[in-house]
Homo-oligomer: A and B are copies of this chain.
Amino acid sequence: MPSSPIRKLAPLANAAKAQGVKVYHLNIGQPDLPTPRKGLDALKHVTRTTLEYSPSEGYPGLREKLCGYYEKFGIKLSPEEIIVTTGGSEAILLSFMACLDPGDEIIMVEPGYANYISFAKTAGIRVRTVTSTIENGFALPPVEAFEEVITPATRAILLCNPSNPTGYVYTAEELLKIKEIVLRHDLYLFSDEVYREFIYNGEPYKSALTLGMDENVVMIDSVSKRYSECGIRIGMVVTRNKKVHDTVMKFCQARLSPPLLGQIVAEASIEGVEDYLKECHAEYKARRDFFIEGLNRIPGVVSPMPQGAFYTVASLPVEDAEDFCRWLLTDFRLDGETVMMAPAAGFYSNPALGRNQVRMAYVLKIEDLKRCLLLLEAALEEYAKKG
């Protein structure tokens, strides 16, 4: 079981904080934007006196509201096609467990969300990767790259769209290529779409559920990022494949139920939040524009312009980004402050890749991002000098 690259340096950060150092967290996708008022207010109005188990598949009211939400993206669903989970994390793990047997293979794009690999290990699944490169802006590798790693044991492809950690948004053309591979080899397509609200290229969002291959698609979703509700742990598995649905449900029954209180907040957050979502979108876009431009101004730092989500993978003028990230927490201080980033090597399965890269989440206010850029530039200079 690998350590999470996002969280494994947390003890060093805690030690720095204990010394009174202010640590800016670019390492984790924990938005600082407020949760919708309606969601927070729902907590004040909980009238039930026993906080009981919810149905294993989640409350019908929440699943009905989600249908309305998805319809805005051209996805027609019934509540029976949605299973509420304990965050997107559980949605991924249970989808793996339901669709794949130990020893089966899954293809992922690297760099990819590190915990996918943890969940695959948990499920006993072998991960094969196709590599997207920073030089190419982390675009989908060509179809041939997928064909090359397909074996008789391959059962699935996983896409994160928009991508964590790169912010890449797949084009309609790329998605059709994926469809072709999926159908040709009769694979599952796990489509993690939790960042769909945050796309900055003006293109309409295209869900895997609109690709016309209902039996193959399992969509992973979560309210964590879109409503700044990471802590309530509400995600979902969405699939029109009845057999997959029923198998996921068996696992859901074993773990009894998703969090009750989170469901109450999530349900209250879905409707009447158009303005809220617009504001969040504008804020993240402004942060992206400011931060990515600033990053590329730092000598030796290169970041593609992410088209979605709120992350970027950037290369730094260092040999070992993990060592640099550790040093930032243990040694570097500027006016009592430092910055925390996730070494990107943990997002690759090939240990030779991404060693000079970091993943950063631009989930801080612009003035804080400004300070982060300043700290990063000063740190790189000092780190270079120390040799």
Contacts and interface: CB of A to CB of B under 8 A. Distances in A.
Interface residues of A, number: 60
Interface in A10-65: 10, 28, 30-35, 39-40, 43-44, 46, 49-56
A8 B228 contact: no
A87 B39 CA distance: 23
Contacts of A233: 86, 233, 257-260
Contacts of A256: 87, 89, 115, 230
Nearest to A29: B53
Interface stretch (A67-75, A118-126, A351-359): A118-126
A47 to B, nearest CB: 9
Contacts of A44: 43-44, 46
Given A43-B46, A102-B124, A255-B87, A230 B261 contact: no
Contacts of A241: none
Number of copies: 2
Nearest to A89: B255
Interface string A253-274: 1111111111001000000000
Contacts of A110: none
A3 interface: yes
A33 B50 contact: yes
4 closest Cβ pairs, A-B complex: A231-B260, A118-B254, A4-B253, A261-B261
Interface of A: 1-4, 6-8, 10, 28, 30-35, 39-40, 43-44, 46, 49-56, 86-87, 89-90, 93, 97, 102, 115, 118-119, 122, 124, 228-233, 247, 250-251, 253-262, 265
